[in-house]
Amino acid sequence: MTPKHFLTAFSAVFVLGFSTVFAQVSEKSSQFRNNEIQRVRVDFETPMGFVRHLLLGFTPDNSATDGFDYGYDAANIEDLPDDLNWMIENERYVIQGVGAFDDTKMYPFGLFLENSGTVKFSLLALENFAQPIEVYIYDMTTDSYHNINGAKYIVELDPAEYINRYYIAFKDLNQAEENLSLDDYYSRFIRLKFNRLNNLLHIDTQDIFLVNKLEIYDTIGKKLLAFKTTNSSTLELQLNNLQSNFLILKFETSVGVIYKRIMI
């Protein structure tokens, strides 16, 4: 049997107490007890037999976001011929901290191969979930979900950079009893990050679709702001003097009208 080699990285400190993947964690700096952080540990085996460990951590109070958060996310500092990473704002990471667990969300991988052959995705561990959760690898190219709770997902791939193809998911939408609306389907791909220091809202559709117009409403339906764009997949908007912390975003896009809620 061919021995497996495990990819390593330098140590780092994270405020969430993520335990160890490539990091040693300072318990004193953690805002929460270690058992409050929910973790999904994923292994990726390359065609050459190397194994990359990845960690996705969920923060119960949404102290982390889907974007880059200093102290929560660990960048990939290695240049390897074959690798799998989390993709955050077009950069590569080995640890990603996000908000509270939401089984409707998906998080993108970046898969980088210089060698062709068999790659394997597997679930190493789930930690601190009150109830068992399902974990899938979603292939956007084939629109297929592959459950990795009890078995590895194995696929043959050619050398390439696979961006916006593979995602980690927690629900097989193809098996849902009712068909998703267009709004439900595409809203999953919208990534929102609000900077409270300068009141900037960053929006990224991950190049899945383009935004032509955005309107912002409060929870009682009053229009607060409107922005026109020119077929853009990323937006950065200044939000000043808003009276409500809960907003409804209405996107007019290349695939139709999509609604998204946000708390700022």
Check residue 45 and give its pLDDT.
97
pLDDT on residue 10: 31
* 3-state secondary structure labels for all residues of the chain: CCCCEECCCCCCCCCCCCCCCCCCCCHHHCCCCHHHCEEEEEEEECCCCEEEEEEEEECCCCCCCCCCCCCCCEECCCCCCEEEEEEECCEEEEEEEECCCCCCCCEEEEEEECCCEEEEEEEEEEECCCCCCCCEEEECCCCEEEECCCCCEEEEECCEEEEEEEEEECCCHHHCCCCCCHHHHHHCCCEEEEECCCCEEEEECCCCCCEEEEEEECCCCCEEEEEEEEEECEEEEECCCCCCCEEEEEEEECCEEEEEEEEC
Note the pLDDT of residue 181: 67
pLDDT at 21 over 70: no
Q: Does the predicted model carry a pTM greater than 0.85?
A: no
Predicted confidence (pLDDT) at residue 33 exceeds the cutoff of 70: no
pLDDT top residue among 238 and 25? 238
Least confident of 15-19, 186-190, 216-220: 15-19
Indicate the average pLDDT of the chain. Answer: 83
What is the pLDDT, as a whole number, of residue 35? 54
- Listed range (150-154, 183-187, 251-255) with the worst mean pLDDT: 183-187
Q: What is the pLDDT of residues 160-213, one digit of tens each?
A: 999 989 999 998 877 754 455 677 778 888 999 988 889 899 999 988 899 999
Please check whether the domain covering 182-263 is classified as CATH 3.40.50.360: no
Tell me the per-residue pLDDT of 53-102, one tens digit each, with 9 for 90 and over: 999 999 989 999 999 998 899 999 999 999 999 999 999 999 999 999 98
- % of the chain exceeding 70 in pLDDT: 83
| Domain coordinates in residue numbering, the chain | 5-175, 182-263
